[in-house]
């Protein structure tokens, strides 16, 4: 309970906000973006542009890939609610994700950017490490799976805030077929 109100009211209003932001975020995303991922998406809504209009870092390696699989939030893993005793510690939500792909030395290099929001509850712990997995499948075979930790904070009485996570270590042979699936989501399981 939050000051006499059911916890559901906090989550309901938070989810309405997240749904609205998700619509705006996803409208700006592209699964074949050759820029700097979420940073470039932010540029379209007022963030500073790339210096001199030239792409940097990941976008300058190799050549653009003709096929770059889209990222999906795995069903049931887009929301992470943590309780401390009987009170909500925090609620984290994945708002959107995108991939950027380059061909480097015959290998497909992929960068996955994930964005979300965390809202503190009355039992918020302060520092939080959100467990976020990126998995890449070719057909039914897992070719990459990594459990990352997203450092962020959730302070009792504080405001909800955004978080971002980037994994740019995904490398595999350039696919001959468009049969690659990329998933992300919160995962409290073992790292493997």
Residue 46, in any domain of the structure: yes
Q: Tell me the mean pLDDT in the region 47-58.
A: 46
| 44-83 CB burial, b ≥16 within 10 A, e <16 | eeeeeebeeeeeeebbeebeebeebbebebeeebbbbebe
**What's the whole-model pTM score?**
0.71
Residue 155, in any domain of the structure: yes
Q: How many domains does the chain have?
A: 1
User: How does residue 53 score in pLDDT terms, banded at 50, 70 and 90?
Assistant: very low
Residue 1, in any domain of the structure: no
Return the pLDDT at 192. 63
CA–CA separation, 164 and 152 (whole Å) = 9
Residue 2, in any domain of the structure: no
Q: 126-182, pLDDT tens digit by residue?
A: 999 999 999 999 999 999 999 999 999 999 999 999 999 999 999 999 999 999 999
Residue 85, in any domain of the structure: yes
Q: Tell me the mean pLDDT in the region 44-65.
A: 55
Q: When comparing pLDDT for 18 and 83, which is higher?
A: 83
Return the pLDDT at 35. 35
Residue 44's domain spans which residues? 7-186
Between 44-58, 105-119, 130-144, the lowest mean confidence (pLDDT) is in: 44-58
CA–CA separation, 123 and 1 (whole Å) = 11
Residue 191, in any domain of the structure: no
Q: Which two tokens stand for residue 42?
A: 């932010």
């Amino acid at each position: 309970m939050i000051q006499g109100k059911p916890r559901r009211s906090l989550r309901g209003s938070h989810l309405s906000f997240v749904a609205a932001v998700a619509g705006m975020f996803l409208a700006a995303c592209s699964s074949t973006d050759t820029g700097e991922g979420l940073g470039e998406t932010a540029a379209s809504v007022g963030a500073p542009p790339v210096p001199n209009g030239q792409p940097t870092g990941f976008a300058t390696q190799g050549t653009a890939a003709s096929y770059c699989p889209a990222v999906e939030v795995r069903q049931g893993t887009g929301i992470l609610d943590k309780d401390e005793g009987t009170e909500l510690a925090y609620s984290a939500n994945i708002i959107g994700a995108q991939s950027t792909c380059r061909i480097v030395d015959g290998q497909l290099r992929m960068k996955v950017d994930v964005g979300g929001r965390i809202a503190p509850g009355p039992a918020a712990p302060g520092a939080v490490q959100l467990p976020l997995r990126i998995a890449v499948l070719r057909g039914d075979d897992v070719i990459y799976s990594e459990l990352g930790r997203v450092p962020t904070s959730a302070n009792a009485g504080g405001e909800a805030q955004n978080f971002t996570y980037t994994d740019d270590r995904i490398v595999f042979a350039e696919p001959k077929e468009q049969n690659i699936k990329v998933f992300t989501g919160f995962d409290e399981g073992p790292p493997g």
